[in-house]
């Protein structure tokens, strides 16, 4: 089950395309990780609190990274994995901008939901994601949805959009004005005016 804000293990593979300043601070799922500029490394370990260190440093210039992986663990099990081809960390704006993104939500009881998008933003102060452009999601149950934008709210454990969405399910194509997915139950609910039609072979 996806849980609350716990002390988590974080793994990442970072190859900066451009990074300036003596230190780079990246926060992920309530954790702060210190990275040296120009670092190419694979790091896995317990989350660390470097609040004191980050407070004493001047905000560094945006860092551009390649091949980024975020992994969120609870009780030794991986719950969320985020992969992006490229990322830009904006320390002043408190956001990480991602390109060519894939997010996997995993649950042993309810299966996996995978969402892909052309780009996304990771909001550092809330641990939320906003996925934009060519957003496509699939479930282990065979459902597939597409829309222009999806938000992941970590605290509420939900995916939602207020944009038009199309859902393919069990021989049907269902369209609505919005959608909400409860990640604790994997329940999908379409909102607004909902229309359904049979799929054509």
The pLDDT value given to residue 166: 96
Structural domain count, the chain: 1
The pLDDT value given to residue 92: 85
46, 64 contact by CB (below 8 A): no
Query: Domain span at residue 172?
Result: 9-198
Any domain includes 132:
yes
The pLDDT value given to residue 23: 26
The pLDDT tens digits of the residues spanning 141-185 come to 899 999 999 999 988 999 999 999 999 988 899 999 999 999 989
Any domain includes 1:
no
The pLDDT value given to residue 70: 82
The pLDDT value given to residue 56: 54
Q: Which residues of 97-109 are buried (b: 16+ CB within 10 A; e: fewer)?
A: bbbebbbbbbbee
Mean pLDDT of the chain: 75
Any domain includes 139:
yes
Q: How far is CA 88 from CA 66, 97, 129, in A?
A: 9, 5, 14
pTM of the complete model: 0.71
Sign for the pseudo-dihedral over CA of 6, 9, 15, 18: positive
Any domain includes 4:
no
CA–CA distance, 136 with 106 (Å, rounded to integer): 17
Any domain includes 115:
yes
Any domain includes 36:
yes
Q: If phi over 0 gives left and psi between -120 and 50 gives alpha, with beta otherwise, what is residue 174?
A: beta
Q: Assign residue 53 the CATH number of its domain.
A: 2.60.450.10
Any domain includes 23:
yes
Q: Scan for tokens 């780079």, then name that residue.
A: 24
Any domain includes 63:
yes
The pLDDT value given to residue 146: 98
The pLDDT value given to residue 57: 60
**Residues of the chain predicted below pLDDT 70:** 1-59, 201
């Amino acid at each position: 089950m996806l849980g609350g804000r716990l002390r988590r293990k974080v793994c990442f593979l970072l190859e900066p395309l451009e990074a300036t300043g003596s230190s780079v601070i990246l926060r992920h799922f309530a954790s702060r990780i210190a990275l040296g500029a120009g670092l190419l490394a694979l790091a896995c370990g317990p989350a660390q609190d470097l609040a004191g260190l980050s407070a004493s440093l001047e905000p560094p210039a945006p860092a551009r990274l390649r091949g980024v992986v975020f992994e969120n663990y609870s009780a030794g099990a991986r719950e969320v994995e985020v992969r992006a081809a490229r990322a830009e960390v904006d320390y002043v704006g408190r956001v990480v901008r991602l390109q060519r993104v894939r997010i996997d939500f995993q649950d042993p009881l309810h299966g996996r939901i995978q969402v892909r998008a052309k780009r996304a933003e990771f909001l550092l102060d809330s641990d939320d994601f906003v996925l934009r452009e060519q957003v496509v999601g699939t479930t282990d149950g065979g459902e597939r949805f597409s829309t222009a934008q999806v938000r992941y709210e970590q605290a509420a454990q939900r995916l939602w959009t207020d944009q038009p969405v199309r859902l393919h399910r069990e021989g049907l194509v269902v369209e609505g004005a919005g959608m909400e997915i409860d990640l604790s139950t994997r329940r999908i609910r379409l909102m607004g005016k909902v229309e359904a039609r049979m799929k054509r072979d």
